Structure 1
Amino acid sequence: MVPLRDVNPVRITPYVTYGLIIANILVFIYEITLPPPVLESFFRTWAVVPRDLTMVLEGTRVGSSPFPEWLTLISSQFLHGGFLHIAGNMLFLWIFGNNVEESLGRIKYLIFYIGCGVLAALTQWFFASGSDIPSLGASGAIAGVMGAYILKYPKAEIVTLIPLGFFLPVARIPAYFFLGFWFVQQAFNGIVGLNAPADIGMQGGGIAYWAHAGGFVFGAILGPVLGLFNDSKESRVEQL
């Protein structure tokens, strides 16, 4: 199932969502200008390397970077491993982010987004703390957005392409079914893929399923805590 859009209108301009999309695209443009050895070094510096994070938490200094290792929990959210990777992430962010931004308000939404990304990365680290494979991408943060969305708009409809061989019929699917199916798929893939190898690079690599599932769960928790079910002041002002 490939989402095209949701049919839930927004009443404010989602500047934060647009800004996040632009930031991710700009970083990706920079990535594709780097030769492979430099790109790998770039990923190892700014993506989350679970083994390095574990060593730092144990009190061992890692590498020569002047920046603290925990900063990668944020910087990794703006890195992507290929065109399909960033295209899929930005599509989901564009579809679901605007409504969540409207519900939380821009400042809380940005805190929510970054927080979900950090917690998602820590979830992946928890299940693979000794891994030397860089973990990167906005998927965990966007999964958090989806976790909040399914709570706020469970009956919203997602206009979706359903691949059936050479045919791509368009259907409207309830959000709770679409996102619920996605979450179960990520959790299942995480369970069966705990020991699966992965590589970094622009055209391939493993998928951090535990980060997806963790981001979804934390999004469903943090959203209500930050006022998901309250009308944001920004929304009320812009409706006047």
Structure 2
Amino acid sequence: MFFIPLYDDNPTVRTPIVTMAIIALCVLVFAWQLSLGGRGEQMAVFSFGLIPAVLFGYAELPRELQVAPAWASVVTSMFLHGGFLHIIGNMLYLWIFGNNVEDSMGRGRFVVFYLLCGTAAAMAQSIANPASEVPMIGASGAIGGVLGAYLVLHPKANVRVLMWIIIFVTVINVPALIVLGVWFIGQIWSGVSTPTSDDGGVAFWAHVGGFVAGVVLIPFFKRPSVAVLQPAHSQAFSTMPPAEAVRRRGSVPSAGSGRGPWGDPP
């Protein structure tokens, strides 16, 4: 079975400028990485990626790679990616879930929230293996925080998921509680079952740390008028052919004039 989340059923009041800006920045940085060539890209990853051993003072980069202070790599690492599947997956999840989280708190707070979640994710992975000399890159940890916040705000929201079972293809509404809950449990299971080493791989504890940070921080960052545990806007587990799902994408309530879904003016 293969499935891909496509979009959710939640309307937004404001255009998600910050979410789109983060996606654009990540794409531009990735294009820059590709332009460097193999060795140049590797040097960029070591210069701007987060290396726990360097952050905690157990190791030191060669002088030619010391472009920024070690602490700055906590932020710069969030905008680097290790390949097309890495960046496509991250940006898809940020696009689906980031707009509603940004809408719940406003643009300025969302920037701070995103960076704090990314920092928490980086520290969680670094503490899990502080002597690692393998660079950690990617927006996954910060996006994990977005997913955690979304789950608190919209656990009953439905995510349109493209499901492919051998030759059977359909789009099904799956509650966010299931989609994100399964994702989070999978990260914990993978983190526990995967030994920490210097061989690289997926930073599962960064995902867990970011997600937990998002759950903890969202009550302090959302606007007071924004409720948690909001209801769904469509029927859970309903299905439709993929072509119809694409056509009906525009039928999801959109931003407009008047009062927003939480009673606030846009």
Give the TM-score normalised by structure 1: 0.89
Greater fraction of residues in helix? 1
Question: Which runs of no fewer than 5 residues in structure 2 stay unpaired?
Answer: 228-259
Q: Which residue of 2 aligns with 1:203?
A: none
- Cα 1:28–1:76 change in 2 (3 A) is same
CA-CA distance at 1:39 after TM superposition: 1.1
2:107 is the counterpart of 1:112: no
Size of the alignment, in residue pairs? 229
Q: Which residue of 1 aligns with 2:220?
A: 225
CA-CA distance at 1:167 after TM superposition: 2.9
Q: Which residue of 1 aligns with 2:19?
A: 17
Q: Which residue of 1 aligns with 2:80?
A: 79
| CA deviation map 1:22-67 (0-9, x unaligned) | 00000000011112111111101100011111217xxx76543252
Give me the whole-angstrom Cα distance separating, in 2, the residues matched to 1:128 and 1:119: 15
2:6 is the counterpart of 1:4: yes
Give me the whole-angstrom Cα distance separating, in 1, the residues matched to 2:164 and 2:123: 33
Give me the whole-angstrom Cα distance separating, in 2, the residues matched to 1:133 and 1:154: 35
CA-CA distance at 1:132 after TM superposition: 1.1
Amino acid of the structure 2 residue aligned with 1:149: Y
Amino acid of the structure 2 residue aligned with 1:98: N
2:45 is the counterpart of 1:43: yes
Give me the whole-angstrom Cα distance separating, in 2, the residues matched to 1:231 and 1:159: 23
| CA deviation map 1:86-116 (0-9, x unaligned) | 0000000000000000001100011000110
Larger Rg: 2
What is the RMSD of the two structures over their aligned residues, measured on CA atoms? Answer: 2.1
Give me the whole-angstrom Cα distance separating, in 1, the residues matched to 2:191 and 2:164: 24
Identity across matched positions, percent? 39
CA-CA distance at 1:2 after TM superposition: 1.6
Alignment of 1:1-240 (within 5 A): 1-55=3-57, 62-64=61-63, 65-195=66-196, 198-199=199-200, 206-227=201-222, 230-231=225-226, 239=265
Amino acid of the structure 1 residue aligned with 2:218: G
3-state SS in 2 of match to 1:161: strand
Question: Which runs of no fewer than 5 residues in structure 1 stay unpaired?
Answer: 200-205
- Cα 1:49–1:103 change in 2 (3 A) is same
Amino acid of the structure 2 residue aligned with 1:161: L
Give yes or no for contact 2:4–2:162 (8 Å, CA) kept in 1. Answer: yes
Give yes or no for contact 1:16–1:106 (8 Å, CA) kept in 2. Answer: yes
Give me the whole-angstrom Cα distance separating, in 2, the residues matched to 1:228 and 1:128: 36
- Cα 1:141–1:229 change in 2 (3 A) is farther
Give me the whole-angstrom Cα distance separating, in 2, the residues matched to 1:62 and 1:34: 20
Give the TM-score normalised by structure 2: 0.81
Amino acid of the structure 1 residue aligned with 2:4: V
- Cα 1:61–1:132 change in 2 (3 A) is closer
Give yes or no for contact 1:157–1:173 (8 Å, CA) kept in 2. Answer: yes
Q: Which residue of 2 aligns with 1:202?
A: none
Give me the whole-angstrom Cα distance separating, in 2, the residues matched to 1:109 and 1:213: 19
Give yes or no for contact 2:132–2:197 (8 Å, CA) kept in 1. Answer: no
CA-CA distance at 1:195 after TM superposition: 3.1
